[in-house]
Chains A and B, each alone.
Chain A
Amino acid sequence: GAGVSQTPSNKVTEKGKYVELRCDPISGHTALYWYRQSLGQGPEFLIYFQGTGAADDSGLPNDRFFAVRPEGSVSTLKIQRTERGDSAVYLCASSLDSGGADEQFFGPGTRLTVL
């Protein structure tokens, strides 16, 4: 079956611009996660959705970052007034349910470059 997909695969933007990154989770997965991975580092948690609601957004670095999941499936990560430090690979993952014991299935990521 189809895995987690993310679009675009690469995004180059200029400092100060607005970007949207999209994630299509595995069908039927109620939990969706966003992570950010900088070069040479492991992924860092940003936000977690259970259904349509953001159950935990404690990992979002500041209020320029926002994510939605209006119908409980596709999610969009939105970054306003991008900064060079936002350059990273943004990874989305989904799992059947929360609870911590579930395998999270990751998408291929979106590589964001802010010039």
Chain B
Amino acid sequence: SQQGEEDPQALSIQEGENATMNCSYKTSINNLQWYRQNSGRGLVHLILIRSNEREKHSGRLRVTLDTSKKSSSLLITASRAADTASYFCATDAEDDSGAGSYQLTFGKGTKLSVIP
């Protein structure tokens, strides 16, 4: 079963605009990661945010995490045509000891199209 749910399912923007994607999850997590996938093949890791962090930046990416709402957002600023891809959030569930598990649970993804 899939824990995460990305919103929106699809997003189309003009090059240069910002793109915001949201992710909601159900259970307590150890950390949350965002991945990008091109053409339905391999996933590329973008950023990891831990459950005790609220915001993280990496280049044009900004990720926020709100554990009280069990939600995260991924912001891509100044989008480029090359950002066209599907974006997935993946959660690493917290086990009974409070440590993280190894099993990533993915959402269905947001399909982003950046129009040149």
Determine which of A31, A41, A59, A103 lies in contact with B108 in the assembled complex, contact meaning CB atoms within 8 Å. Answer: A41
Complex Cα distance, B35 from A61, in Å, reads 24
Known contacts A42-B88, A44-B106: does B100 contact A103 (CB below 8 Å)? Answer: no
Minimal Cβ-Cβ distance residue in B for A107: B42
Chain B binding surface SS class = strand
CB-based A-B contact count at 8 angstroms: 75
Residues of A within 8 A of B4 (CB): 42
- Indicate if the CB atoms of A104 and B104 lie closer than 8 Å: yes
Residues of A within 8 A of B88 (CB): 42-43
Interface centre among A31, A42, A43, A98 (most CB of B within 10 A): A42
CB of A61 to closest CB in B, whole Å:
12
Determine which of B41, B100, B107, B109 lies in contact with A100 in the assembled complex, contact meaning CB atoms within 8 Å. Answer: B100
Known contacts A89-B41, A106-B43: does B107 contact A42 (CB below 8 Å)? Answer: yes
Interface residues of A in 20-37 (CB under 8 A from B): 31, 33, 35, 37
Complex Cα distance, B35 from A104, in Å, reads 10
CB of A89 to closest CB in B, whole Å:
6
- The stretch that binds A, out of B44-52, B54-62, B65-73, B75-83, is B44-52
CB of A111 to closest CB in B, whole Å:
8
Interface residues of B in 63-116 (CB under 8 A from A): 88, 90, 92, 99-109
CB of B72 to closest CB in A, whole Å:
14
Residues of A within 8 A of B24 (CB): none
- Indicate if the CB atoms of B42 and A109 lie closer than 8 Å: yes
29 chain-A/chain-B pairs, Cβ below 8 angstroms:
A31-B102, A33-B102, A35-B104, A35-B106, A41-B108, A42-B4, A42-B90, A42-B109, A48-B102, A50-B102, A55-B102, A56-B102, A56-B103, A89-B41, A99-B99, A100-B92, A100-B100, A100-B101, A100-B102, A101-B31, A101-B100, A103-B33, A103-B48, A104-B45, A104-B104, A105-B45, A106-B42, A106-B44, A108-B42
